[in-house]
Amino acid sequence: MKQLTLSQALEGYVLFAEPKLSPHTLQDYFNTFRKFQSFLGEDLLINDINVEHIAGFISQYQHLKKKTLRNYHTGLSALWTWAFQQNLVDEKIPQTYQPPRADEIAIVPYSEADIKAMLASCQKRKPYLLPGQRETATDFPEGPRLKTSLLLLLDTGIRASEYCGLKIKDVDLRNRNIMVMGKGRKERQIPISSRTAQALWSYFSTRPDMLINSPAFATVNDTHINRDNFLKSIYRLGERAGVQGPTIHRFRHTFAINYLRNGGDIYTLQRILGHSTLDMVKRYLSIAQVDIQAAHRRASPVTNWGL
């Protein structure tokens, strides 16, 4: 068995992980590794690191969200799984430690009114009043891109990282589908509606110099949109529209729940969303079924006729 220090093992893991993981996942993992190295204070042999080290590292962040602690555990588990496969460690140490159970976050989809308000806010900036003039609102330069983005997010349920990574070559308007790179570097094809395809065509027509490898959604410099900046722009748009708690992930929730409400099945939804298991899809299904039961109570002739 090779005797490598943690830093040496990390050098090897970089070479293994870079082609397989998304930039966002890599960033999260290496943020965890840097914090773990700082916690250890010295460059130990990776095979000398034990469960007490793992527990001590995670316990010092108890003030953070449980989901964040589980993400730290996931990053360390991925490293040790690779190290075990490479015969660098005797066992997968992080997997012997039980991380805190993540809090179950409520799923709150957007309403139809929320979506319409945000789409309307893509047209004009927030109205303002100049001295001696009537209230006015100027055009919003990012409006066409944001409006098209909202339609695509709502129509497909893709993740923020998948949206930011889209290229022109990934968008097939004729056959109305897009190809995204999901978690684990797994590609999947997702259908889009005719209305969304029309919006994409209209947005692309404003960029006559784009190439096949150009970003599908680009900055003014024709570069890929930064994920964090996109999150902020959606938040600002939602606030301007008067929508409570606007996030990109709520579009994913909204798509999934309405897909099931309108007759879609959980297995095709799982493929569209790129989930490896049905666990999350079943949560969407439970919400959709509650809606169906409530609608039945309102519409049942037995109930309404007092039979």
- Which residue numbers are catalytic? 159, 183, 249, 252, 275, 284
Residues 6+ apart with CB under 8 A from 41: none
Taking only Cα atoms into account, the Rg of the chain, rounded to an integer number of angstroms, comes to 24
- Would you state the structure tokens that stand for residue 224, as one six-digit string? 């890929």
Q: In whole angstroms, what is the distance from residue 170 CA to residue 36 CA? A: 38
DSSP symbols for 73-107: HHHHHHHHHHHHHTTS-SS-GGGGS-PPPPP----
Look up residue 124 and give its DSSP letter.
B
Evaluate whether 64 touches 94 at the Cβ level (below 8 Å). no
Q: Lay out the sheet containing 187-191: strands in order across.
A: 171-172, 177-181, 187-191
Residue type, 82: W
**Summary count for the chain: helices (H), strands (E):** 13, 3
245 in the Ramachandran plot: left (φ > 0), alpha (ψ -120 to 50) or beta?
left
State the CB neighbour count (10 A cutoff) for residue 242. 12
The alpha-helical segments, DSSP class H, found in the chain are: 6-17, 23-40, 51-59, 66-85, 112-121, 143-156, 160-165, 194-204, 227-241, 249-261, 266-273, 279-299, 301-304
